[in-house]
């Protein structure tokens, strides 16, 4: 299950439990809308409550990233999981965006240039 929030050029996604293909498609729809009407997007993924992800989601993420390689400015990922951290660095191969991993929401939002009180 995911929770999404968006303001300006920021799309924030929090994942709870297993991250599924249906969740990812919801995210894709929101991002496509923002790209169409706002332009380049910043992403904030909070994966601290994620229990895992499905294989079809992983494949969809690679395809989506390649299709939108130039549509992201910065991608902040909140996690304490080493596997997620490693996969975040691999994701940089598919996008032009700066990708950083954080353990603190405040640090991630500061890096993105978003006020901490904008937390969903």
Q: Express each pLDDT in 32-62 by its tens digit.
A: 999 999 999 999 999 999 998 888 888 888 8
Which portions of the chain are predicted below pLDDT 70?
Answer: 83-93, 115-120
Residue 19's domain spans which residues? 2-108
Whether residue 120 lies inside any domain: the answer is no
Domain CATH code at residue 7: 3.40.50.10600
What global pTM score does this model have?
Answer: 0.85
Whether residue 115 lies inside any domain: the answer is no
Whether residue 117 lies inside any domain: the answer is no
What's the number of domains the chain is made of?
Answer: 1
Give the pLDDT confidence score for residue 88 in this predicted structure.
Answer: 63
Q: Are 27 and 2 in contact (CB under 8 A)?
A: yes
Whether residue 113 lies inside any domain: the answer is no
Distances (CA, A) of 101 to 12, 57, 77: 14, 20, 5
Whether residue 6 lies inside any domain: the answer is yes
Q: 72: closest CA among 50, 47, 94?
A: 94
> What is the rounded distance in angstroms from the CA atom of residue 77 to the CA atom of residue 39?
21
Whether residue 89 lies inside any domain: the answer is yes
Whether residue 36 lies inside any domain: the answer is yes
Give the pLDDT confidence score for residue 73 in this predicted structure.
Answer: 93
- Residue identified by tokens 């995911």 is 2
Whether residue 59 lies inside any domain: the answer is yes
């Amino acid at each position: 299950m995911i929770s999404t929030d968006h303001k300006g050029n920021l799309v924030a996604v929090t994942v709870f439990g297993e991250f599924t293909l249906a969740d990812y498609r919801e995210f894709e729809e929101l991002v496509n809308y923002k790209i169409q009407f706002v332009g380049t997007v910043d992403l904030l993924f909070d994966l601290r409550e994620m229990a895992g992800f499905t294989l079809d989601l992983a494949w969809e993420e690679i395809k989506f990233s390649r299709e939108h390689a130039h549509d992201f400015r910065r991608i902040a990922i909140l996690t304490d999981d080493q596997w997620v951290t490693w996969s975040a660095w691999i994701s940089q191969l598919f996008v032009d965006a700066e990708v950083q991993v954080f353990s603190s929401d405040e640090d991630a939002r500061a890096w993105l240039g978003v006020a901490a009180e904008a937390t969903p």
